[in-house]
Homo-oligomer: A and B are copies of this chain.
Amino acid sequence: MSAVASRVVALSGGIGGAKLVLGLSRVMPPGDLVAIVNTADDFEHLGLAISPDLDTVMYTLAGLDDPQRGWGRREETWTFMSALAALGGESWFKLGDGDLATHIERTRRLRLGESLSTITADLCRALGIAVRVVPMSDDKVRTVIETDRGTLDFQDYFVRQRCAPMVREVIYAGAAMARAQSEALAALRDPALRAVVICPSNPLLSIEPMLAIRSLRDAVAGCAAPVIAVSPIIGGGAVKGPTAKMMAELGLPVTVTTVARRYGDLLDGYVLDHADAEEARTLDLPLRAARTLMVSLADREALAREVLAHADALADGDERKPA
């Protein structure tokens, strides 16, 4: 593929995905990067429209993320939460004072009938973010978890119940009817597309809700550029969050192989950690082993370079799927 293939699309959930999106934005022109972000864990809380993954990506790209906590904003204050608790309000979902500005502004504009993608674009512009951050859909898709304690809304399962219930099934309510966001589809059809990167986010909670939208899945499957996934599993475990626990409860081996097989035919290449190279050897897919744990900013950039190099090699035909 020629130098004209400059655009990159990343499919991202929250923390892990946002780290790689940040890395990509620093090793390529950020204006050529489109991040399609999961909105299936969006929810309404205290009357506010909250989009956790969009906000994590946005805060990370704006340098506003809190590196210790892993969610929310740095230099955050918590006066609102204390005052709300004193009033007897619901305090299981922590909303920082600065973070509230995002939710209140988004909610206000959604109520005026504006789309989530328009609002997201404006918030990103205000924060000086050059990457195009696009929600997977402006329609409502909601992850619902069937558990041994009944059917739970995602944030109820994830935050209030701290992933304690046993997962039996993960459902993306609304996905069948949802339309993919038009800019996301256009980016995937862009003749200048260099690569599609499936970020190392939770497959069940972040990536598969996006792929459950038929038109989005079809656009990934049909795109001309190499589709490269980065494994969220390192050394047979998840870096963070409930990925490993959920996979185990669903009877899925917690391996890089499982993740690649779930994405199946969509993938043209796979980037995984050195620790999992042996485990992955049975995969019928061009593999690239790298350091995938992203601790420092340099780690994020290095992994982004590996991913793009893998894509470029595949596009140039240097690497072929093994027979």
Contact B100 A100 (CB under 8 A): yes
Most chain B beta-carbon contacts within 10 A, residue among A48, A73, A80: A80
Interface string of A91-110 (1 = CB under 8 A from B): 00000111111101101100
Residues of chain B within 8 A of A80, CB atoms compared: 80, 97-98, 100-101, 104
**Closest CB in chain B relative to A45 CB, distance in Å:** 9
Which residue in chain B gives the minimum CB-CB distance to A100?
B80
Partner of A83, one of B82, B87, B98, B122: B98
Residues of chain B within 8 A of A105, CB atoms compared: 46, 84, 87, 89
A86 interface hit (Cβ, 8 Å)? yes
Interface string of A105-126 (1 = CB under 8 A from B): 1011001000000000011001
10 CB contacts below 8 A, A to B, read A46-B105, A48-B104, A79-B96, A80-B104, A81-B101, A82-B98, A84-B105, A86-B101, A86-B127, A100-B100
Q: Measured between alpha carbons, how far is A39 from B87 in the docked complex, in Å? A: 20
A317 interface hit (Cβ, 8 Å)? no
Copies of this chain, whole number? 2
Q: Measured between alpha carbons, how far is A117 from B15 in the docked complex, in Å? A: 43
Which residue in chain B gives the minimum CB-CB distance to A128?
B86
**Closest CB in chain B relative to A95 CB, distance in Å:** 9
Interface residues on A, range: 20 to 34
Which residue in chain B gives the minimum CB-CB distance to A62?
B86
A249 interface hit (Cβ, 8 Å)? no
Contact A101 B77 (CB under 8 A): no
**Closest CB in chain B relative to A57 CB, distance in Å:** 15
Contact B87 A47 (CB under 8 A): no
Contact B111 A47 (CB under 8 A): yes
Partner of A47, one of B96, B99, B108: B108
- Within 14-44 of A, Cβ neighbours of B (below 8 Å) are at none
Residues of chain B within 8 A of A148, CB atoms compared: none
A88 interface hit (Cβ, 8 Å)? yes
